[in-house]
Structure 1
């Protein structure tokens, strides 16, 4: 048994960047296991798996982000109580994982946890969000007016919360998220029909539907060297659009009572704040 397992899905990534992600996860006294799922067309990154605590798995067919992590999740199913999904562009200091595990142990109904996510310069990335409506997707991607986008973002990204205390939130970013393994197994892990981009929204929602909580936990933080490729690469943008269409076809477009209730209950947590939503 391991204290925690983790997985990183690779695709022609910078070795220097991935080394930082690997070193961050292994920099602990916990008993850990890390799976590197490599979707690159070659095995140039195989040397990154030389540590005994790492298992390297090559799959050049590239079935998608969620499908790659599912390979690791299935391997970890009976080996640990917790599993971390980690982007190759994540890095952090020692002492991040331990408080998160303690948080899980304290509250059995927590299904998944995301710490505070920071840009490399220390600015907060607002990645604890409401469930999106189609309007949220359209405005945040296509409307050129900052005052409109900012109004949407302030609510959608729960910015008025201050991001300085723990709260229950229905959409946590998949760039760095830790799951209770038993919850993952109950929902069947990631939906492999989603190649990339909305798989984190979908999996959080399915965990909530089972009665678990998705928690933002700002007591610890990680760095995310993030680049929004969907804005600059048309091929990536098409993948993003396809995943959004699949998500709304699955859960509902403009009429989704489940979304309305979940978002309403989320915002109620902040009703006492000045200038609440």
Structure 2
């Protein structure tokens, strides 16, 4: 529970008057720390309802706010990060979603600016990882030949750290609750990108432990099921919008 306390403290250090919502998806009552102020509200769903569904409970509590940040608890960042992102959003009313530069604890970049996925990207990474063909596709999918050093627009930004314009969340309807875990962030990012800018902001950095890479067989099955739901929704091999958006994004990122 030290991680939850740290997560709350980081937000409070960024904004003394921030409204903080913790969603507890544990089937049984867990030992979430008691916070001695009115800033922190704990919502207990009573069941493991999934990542997106849990965050939708938090969205419902933040309707009076201008912005809503979706933050994993395994993040470390300085007090200047959130203010810088909100200042950027204030200056850019066309932006619905912004994500900062995200690094591993050792300082190496996490390649979380991505194209809209093709089934070959997803299932190649899952079942043919390490092959030259998959590595080439993955390099393009995650923009590993780009320096992650400038503001650019991407159709898929990671759900580990999202700052969202609250009116845009209401407009697109929040997370699609058909996705229990995996697929929910690309789906939300894609729906926002249809109507608003979705921007990578490299001028502040957060550090993310990225434990979701582990988890074994059950996690892999969950990933397959939920990403299959994503492709059932948007299209598998045939997805004209994906192809058009990805072509534009590649040109936009590497334009000199």
TM-score, L = length of structure 1:
0.88
Counterparts of residues 1-12 of structure 1 (less than 5 Å)? none
Contact 1:140–1:152 (8 Å) recurs in 2: no
Instruction: Look up the SS of the partner of 1:164 in the other structure.
Output: coil
Alpha-carbon distance between aligned partners in 1 of 2:173 and 2:73, rounded to the nearest angstrom? 24
RMSD (Å) for aligned C-alpha atoms: 1.5
CA distance in 1, matches of 2:70, 2:6: 15
Q: Distance in 2 between matches of 1:214 and 1:113?
A: 6
Give yes or no for contact 1:67–1:192 (8 Å, CA) kept in 2. yes
Superposed CA deviations along residues 112-134 of structure 1, whole A, max 9, x for unmatched, are 00001111111110001000000
Q: How many correspondences in the alignment?
A: 256
Q: Does 1:184 align with 2:161?
A: no
Query: What are the within-5 Å matches in structure 2 for residues 89-238 of structure 1?
Result: 89-209=74-194, 211-229=195-213, 232-238=215-221
Are 2:27 and 1:41 equivalent residues in the alignment?
Answer: yes
The unaligned stretches of length 5 or more in structure 2 are none
Cα shift readout 1:137-158 (whole Å, capped 9, x = no counterpart): 0111111435333312221011
| Distance in 2 (alpha carbons) for counterparts of 1:125 and 1:88 | 17
Structure with the greater relative contact order (CA < 8 A, sep ≥ 6): 1 or 2? 2
Among residues 224, 237, 247, which one is paired with 1:254 in the alignment? 237
Query: Within 1, Cα distance between the matches of 2:16 and 2:188?
Result: 27
Checking the alignment, whether the CA contact within 8 Å between 1:36 and 1:49 is kept in structure 2 is no
The normalised TM-score by structure 2 is 0.95
Shift of 1:16: 1.9
